[in-house]
Amino acid sequence: MTPRTIAIDGPAGAGKSTIGALVAERLGYLFLDTGAMYRAVTLAAQRRGIDPDDGPTLTKLAREVRVNIGPPTVRDGRAYTVLLDGEDVTWAIREPEIDRIVSQVARVPYVRDAMVEQQRALAERGRLVMVGRDIGTVVLPKADLKVFLTASAAERAKRREEELRARGQVRPRQELLQEILRRDRLDSERAVAPLRAADDAIIVQTDGLSVGQALERVFAVLTRADAREGPAPHGGQASRS
Ligand code: DC
């Protein structure tokens, strides 16, 4: 049986969202990019002028805002639409200022609790691909399949530069690399739900791979999981009796 719940974790820029969305599309599963939820709360905080290190105020904010992620409502290259209190913020949450402060907001324990609760509620609905940092370790520790998608920081900075250029933004690669290293550090060293591969995750290294090639690697892992979970050739019953 194809795994029902698929957790994809990994560092910033490893291609989780792109690959996750494609896996979900091919399987006809729901797709949830949990990073977008943390980004939406961060945008709300930024707009209200809340200090990203002000835990108590962020905690209150996370209780107040409504974040919804659903299928694309506009055909402009987006994989999904993100609503913040009903407003379309799909692109606003990708601005460099949000990149810069999102890891600070995401380390506040109650912000995480509020997001994790919503993520688990969504997973209850059935087949889905969920991507993030702590899906296999914290959000869905019983996920049927866990993939840890990763790439070197240099490779991730290169991809980010190309992605931005495609959207008409030019940023020096060295600067992007520094940002990636800083976010890796904040995401991996925080006290609550740090970025790490679950013990039972399958690591997929994507350095030098195209999106198509990385996708095929993930499907190879999925197929192996299928084979492992399939019924025994002549059923277990007979051998037990
Ligand atoms: O995947 P991303 O770059 O959009 O994630 C944005 C930030 O949100 C990232 O710096 C860490 C945080 N995040 C998290 O802490 N837990 C998740 N499950 C997903 C993202």
Task: Give pLDDT tens digits for 114-147.
Answer: 999 999 999 998 899 999 999 999 999 999 999 9
| Ligand 1 cavity residues, CB under 6 Å | 12, 34-35, 38-39, 102-103, 106, 132-135, 183, 187
- Regions of the chain where pLDDT drops below 50: 231-241
CATH code at position 221? 3.40.50.300
pTM reported for the whole predicted model = 0.90
Cα 96 to ligand 1 centre (Å)? 14
- Predicted pLDDT at 239: 31
- Predicted pLDDT at 226: 73
Cα 54 to ligand 1 centre (Å)? 18
Burial of 4 per CB tally in 10 Å (0-12, 13-18, 19+): middle
Radius of gyration of the chain (CA): 19
- Predicted pLDDT at 230: 52
Domain that holds residue 185: 5-240
- Predicted pLDDT at 225: 76
Q: How many domains does the chain have?
A: 1
- The DSSP letter of residue 233 is T
Which residue's CA is minimally distant from atom 15 of ligand 1?
106
Cα 230 to ligand 1 centre (Å)? 33
Query: CA angle, 67 as apex, 65 and 70 as ends, to 5°?
Result: 165
- Predicted pLDDT at 229: 62
Kindly state the greatest CA–CA separation across the chain: 68
